[in-house]
Structure 1
């Protein structure tokens, strides 16, 4: 656990900014010292890294919060897209630097504004944003949770993980068995009640994401045992095909 002062020194983010992130619900501390100072764990620091990467791409704080709070936010996929956007930004800046140097050394021979064109980068960003919490399902989730405390939201996620723990206990059974399929139905109903309406199509997509090998797989297998994410995905595929 790190104090707000230690996090500020480590990251270069001012204490006042960290306090503001807490106020708007963008980055909540994991706890407080006896004196009332904020404390941050590794999970909070990972979230701060995501916030700072999106800030480098000039995303508004409100939009950053919406993206990383989305129930289907995939950190690994977001990182790949951020790397692509940052690379585009780097190439754009290098082009501007070269253009400025050319003007300085040789003067302006013709009016060329192509170097200022960011259309390709802007289009990629727009496409990426469509995958970052812009769905109707996320809007429903946002509406359901807007008046909930952070503790209530944490409990909802914790109970969701407990369903995966139940899957882990029966992953030696056939994924198409009645017991396993009933648990898939419980998972679908829980998502619909606490997050967003989970149709068979959406559930099928979630199943693929659970077994994608990214953060979701890691978290599920960590909580419920190795191989659970893949087992859930197979059970979901059978359930949605019926």
Structure 2
């Protein structure tokens, strides 16, 4: 059993790997209340709160919304042992799916290197079919079928080293832009990185014609950055400020340099 009786908000944040701000939010919405508050108003957490936080984090790992988590944990019939067993089975299923995805990646690399992949669907193997279909449909609706098909064809034909370099360049560009997100997105320094981002995105789209600027398509991607957090998640976390920064920087670039 857990020996320590009380933990401060900073201590429990460090133990659980969450931010103090997150714990404050959980307290505010009634999802995780401290066991007591000191005379100075500091939050203190005990054993029961540690177990409850563990459950919250497990359910968050399974993408359950906070409102539903509260309903589950507040149910008088909630059984901790039963819940843990359920988490275990869910994580085993996720592990199996991830293993399938890893095998698919290995096979894709081999096929790209040897140019033996003939079926575009193999690019999505291991993903839930419905989810893969939704992502592909969204891409077609937002960027056009010709862009999606050209991108898929280009990635299938691209050599392994070229593909890996493209991914590495993208990662470096994103990291640099993230470090500049506190600056004016219209500044020369930021716009230089946006230009690299634009060139990298064009490569993923399979666009090589220098006269095909894809200005409106690039602005459409900027709109997605602002509207859909999936497109600006870094290290597993969304950042609305970074999304707004990219949206403004990409629009400025498209309006001023893609003419």
- TM-score normalised to the size of structure 1? 0.47
TM-score (norm 2): 0.44
